[in-house]
Structure formats: C-alpha cells, structure tokens
Amino acid sequence: MREPRDIAPLFPDFYHGVLFAVGKEPSPQNLLALIEYIGQMLTLNAVVWFQQTGETQAHERFMERFGGGGGDEQKLEMIPDDMIDFLWSWRPSTHQALRDWIPELEQMLTGPDSMLWKFGDELPFGIWHMED
C-alpha cells in the first residue's frame, strides 16, 4: 500500500505566493512561465533520482509523459503536480526528498538570487534556458 501524498498541491496557492513574493501579478502569462520553469527544475531532480537508482524504465515513462511539457491532454498548470504524483507513486524514498524540496524550491524562486527578479512585470517563457 502506497502512502498518500501529503504535499499540498502547487496549483494555485504555491504559484500565487511565489509571484506575490517577487512582485509579479498572477497573470496567465506569469503563471504559465513560472509553471514551465518549475517543471524544468522538477524534471532535473527527477532525472538525478532515476540515475541514482538505475531505474531507466521509470525515467523513460517520466520523459514519455512529461517531456516537452506534457501531453496534449494535460492541463499545463497541473504538470508539476502531476510530476510530483508520478514521483510519489514511483518510489517511497522520494517522499521525504519531495517534502524537503518544495520549501527549498520556494526559497530558490523568491530569494535574492532568483531569476524571477531579473524580469519586469511579465515573466517570459524559457527562463530555464536563460540561466548560465
């Protein structure tokens, strides 16, 4: 029996909180740009976990499902939550890692070194690719 997810959904409160903290309106553009950015960050963590465990099949399933921003049937705003659900179901050892990662993510996104501060009122898509 799998332990039920005990991480609050990111949509919408987490995203609104991050945008508020960095002085951005929760416009559709800003929400989707932030969600895309978080999806890329979560994918990076997932790939590391898959490599550490040698679980190539799980990695392939994850990339099939979420590569390129998710499938046509997925709502973009739900992709990071769907990723968390996938990882939660995949392996119990991710539970604590995900619990720890969410507050770290919030600090990364709202801290003084966050990429989100570098833009005006509107966040662009592709923030992940702008980092050095």
pTM attached to this predicted model: 0.92
Chain centre to alpha carbon of residue 110: 14
Q: Please give the average per-residue pLDDT across 21-48, as a whole number.
A: 96
Residue 112 has what pLDDT?
A: 96
Type of residue at 37: Y
CA–CA separation, 80 vs 86, rounded Å? 10
| CB contact at 8 A, 32 and 77 | yes
Residue 110 has what pLDDT?
A: 98
| CB contact at 8 A, 50 and 56 | yes
pLDDT value at 69 more than 90: no
pLDDT value at 42 more than 60: yes
Q: Please give the average per-residue pLDDT across 17-43, as a whole number.
A: 96
| CB contact at 8 A, 128 and 40 | yes
Residue 68 has what pLDDT?
A: 76
